[in-house]
């Protein structure tokens, strides 16, 4: 049965209503998350100033350029909201939220490098290596990664810091984010599959000594 003008008009009204409802929900969500985002921004500035207090200005500038590029801060927001959902308080969770965002930013800086994804733009502005050069971009990424663990160690109670460092290192390391990036590069043919197993380095040393 073909659609009549009245059914088509009804469908158009429903679609328009859905769009308006979606926009309204988005505005309400943005309003609810605004205070959290503001706290995250303040905390990131606080912690970045501490971990770069005696750093060379060049690497500090590259770190800040990437960390404060336009973004929604979804990862730290999820960390804070998860803490609140479990009955925790906002303030003690801020170091962990900042650490997660610093690790995320480091991953973007390194992913954009020519040897990886080779991107010129990130979040609407030149990527870190395009702005500061490849060498400084690598160092800025390294400093953001290590700085994240400094934030956890300095900002959290000892037991919480230890557990948080363990979980973040697992999630960001060889079996987590780095491992995923490796698989992406393998799929693109940029790196080999690898053959290393536990003890294989000793076998290689033994064969070299016999030659």
**pLDDT at site 108:** 96
**pLDDT at site 33:** 87
Ramachandran region of residue 199, left (φ > 0), alpha (ψ -120 to 50) or beta?
A: left
**pLDDT at site 95:** 98
**pLDDT at site 177:** 96
**pLDDT at site 28:** 78
**pLDDT at site 32:** 82
- In whole angstroms, what is the distance from residue 159 CA to residue 7 CA? 63
Sequential DSSP letters for 135-187: HHHHHHHHHHHHHHHHHHHHHS-HHHHHHHHHHHHHHHSTTTHHHHHHHHHHH
**pLDDT at site 5:** 56
**pLDDT at site 19:** 56
The label of the residue with tokens 């998350």 reads: 33
- In whole angstroms, what is the distance from residue 57 CA to residue 72 CA? 26
pTM: predicted TM-score of the whole model, two decimal places: 0.81
Name the stretches of the chain with pLDDT < 50.
211
**pLDDT at site 105:** 97
How would you class 44 by CB atoms within 10 Å of its CB: exposed for 0-12, middle for 13-18, buried for 19 or more? Answer: buried
């Amino acid at each position: 049965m073909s659609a009549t003008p009245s059914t088509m008009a009804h469908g158009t009204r429903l679609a328009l209503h859905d769009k308006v409802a979606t926009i309204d929900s988005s505005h309400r969500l943005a309003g609810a998350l605004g205070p959290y985002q503001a706290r995250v921004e303040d905390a990131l500035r606080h912690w970045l100033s501490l971990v770069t207090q005696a750093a060379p200005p060049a690497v500090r500038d590259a770190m800040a350029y990437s960390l404060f590029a336009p973004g929604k801060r979804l990862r730290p927001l999820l960390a804070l909201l998860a803490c609140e959902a479990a009955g925790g308080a906002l303030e003690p969770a801020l170091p962990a939220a900042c650490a997660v965002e610093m690790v995320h930013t480091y991953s973007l800086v390194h992913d954009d490098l020519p040897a990886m994804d080779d991107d010129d733009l990130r979040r609407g502005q030149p990527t870190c290596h395009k702005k500061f050069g490849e060498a400084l971009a690598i160092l800025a990424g390294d400093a953001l990664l290590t700085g994240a663990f400094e934030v956890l160690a300095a900002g959290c109670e000892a037991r919480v810091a230890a557990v948080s460092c363990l979980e973040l290192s697992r999630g960001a390391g060889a079996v987590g984010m780095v491992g995923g990036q490796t698989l992406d590069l393998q799929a693109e043919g940029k790196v080999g599959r690898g053959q290393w197993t536990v003890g294989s380095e000793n076998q290689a040393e033994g064969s070299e000594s016999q030659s």
